[in-house]
Amino acid sequence: MIKKPGKNLTNTLKAVTKTKLHEQIVIQIQALIDKGRLKHGDQLPPERELAAIFKVSRHSVREAIRILEQKKILKSRPGSGTYIILEDESSVVEFLARAINLEKHTLAEIFQFRELLEPQIAGLAAQNATEEDLFILEEILHRQQHELDNNKASTDLDQDFHRALARAAGNAVLLEVVELLDHIFLKSRHAYSLPPQRNRLSLKGHQEILKAVKNKDSKTARELMTGHLNEIQELVISSSYHKKA
């Protein structure tokens, strides 16, 4: 079934200014495909409209379309239009490779942000955690120990631990930030676990952090959280994507 031209492309595509204009057009169209804004079967606007959007000549548009056709990403149908195609095996592999690299970049940025925030939370928790906070954290780790082979439960408990640690920090603003960003942080925990390796590594890191918190050792708690996040990041981004590929 033929789909209608992609919506709101005028507001998404940008005028290109570099020397090799057609290459910039190729990059923008590929980026829209990577982000899911353009999908298999979607029709591009007419050549004249694309030239106006990009603020280039129709020759540059035709050259970009030619390159994307060679990559088997676009297909021009005389009398009909130009369509996104991802049926050929080589184009699918190229698309998946770009998508994986994009996702790896996104995950790296999430971990980078977590490294700015969570070591400070661990340090504050070591200073401010109450007996009740410690009991809750210990209970979470006890449950995590028994759910090492249950990936879904382990992921939920991982999130529970970091949320409880934020509560133990005793800073309402930090807690609100963590709760607001939970859905983003979940991307660094969710489907990329490698059971039981990821789950065991997560538990080990949590146990070490909790020990420092119980000892009221703020400096060590911060350092352990940084190391924990680095270990998980390496496993998530490297090992899981190698397995996925």
The residue whose two tokens read 């909790």 is 210
pLDDT tens-place string over residues 92-145: 555 555 554 555 667 788 888 889 899 999 999 999 999 999 999 999 999 999
Tens of pLDDT, residues 2-58? 555 555 666 666 665 545 788 888 888 888 877 778 877 788 888 899 999 889 999
pLDDT higher than threshold 90 for residue 179:
no
Taking the whole predicted model, whether its pTM rises above 0.85 is answered as no
Topology at the third CATH level for domain 9-87: Arc Repressor Mutant, subunit A (1.10.10)
Burial class (CB in 10 A: 0-12, 13-18, 19+), 191: exposed
- Give the separation between CA 244 and CA 100, rounded to whole angstroms: 9
Domain ranges of the chain: 9-87, 91-244
Output the CA torsion 146→148→154→160 (10° steps).
Answer: 50
List the CATH code of the domain at 91-244.
1.20.120.530
